Structure 1
Amino acid sequence: MGIVEKWIGFLTIIGRWIAILTMTSMMVFTTYAVISRNLGAPVVGDVEFMQLGMVVLIMFALAYTQKRDAHISIGLFVDRLPKKIQEFADVISYLSTFIICLFIGWVSFNIGLNSMNGNVKTTDLLGIPHFPFRFIIALGFMMWGLEALLKSMRAFVTLFAGKEG
Structure 2
Amino acid sequence: MRSLRSVVDRLIGLSNILGSVALALVTIVILIDVIGRYFGAPLRGAQDIGQMGMVIIVFGGMAYCGRHGGHIAIDIFENAFPPRMNRVIDICVAFLGVVLFGAVAWKVIQSAQLSLMLNLATNIIQLPKAWFQWALAGFSILTALGMFLRGLELILREDRRAEHKEAMP
TM-score by length of 1: 0.89
Q: Residue in 2 aligned with 1:42?
A: 42
Give the distance between the partners of 1:158 and 1:68, measured in 2 at CA: 14
Q: Residue in 1 aligned with 2:164?
A: none
Give the distance between the partners of 1:41 and 1:75, measured in 2 at CA: 49
- Determine what percentage of the aligned residue pairs are the same residue: 18
* Range with bigger deviation, 100-109 or 135-144: 100-109
Give the distance between the partners of 1:92 and 1:135, measured in 2 at CA: 28
Q: Residue in 2 aligned with 1:27?
A: 27
Q: Residue in 1 aligned with 2:128?
A: 129
The alignment partner of 1:158 has SS state of coil
Structure 2, unaligned stretches of length 5 or more?
A: 159-169
Give the distance between the partners of 2:138 and 2:147, measured in 1 at CA: 14
Q: Residue in 2 aligned with 1:155?
A: 154
Quick check: 1:115–1:121 contact (8 Å CA) kept in 2?
yes
Q: Does 1:88 align with 2:105?
A: no
- The one-letter amino acid of 1:21's match is V
Q: How far did residue 80 of structure 1 move?
A: 1.8
Give the distance between the partners of 2:88 and 2:101, measured in 1 at CA: 20
Give the distance between the partners of 2:83 and 2:74, measured in 1 at CA: 16
**What are the superposed Cα offsets for residues 27-83 of structure 1, whole Å, 9 maximum, x if unpaired?**
111111111111121111211111111011111110012234322111113442111
Give the distance between the partners of 2:118 and 2:79, measured in 1 at CA: 49
Give the distance between the partners of 1:152 and 1:68, measured in 2 at CA: 11
TM-score by length of 2: 0.87
Structure 1, unaligned stretches of length 5 or more?
A: 160-165
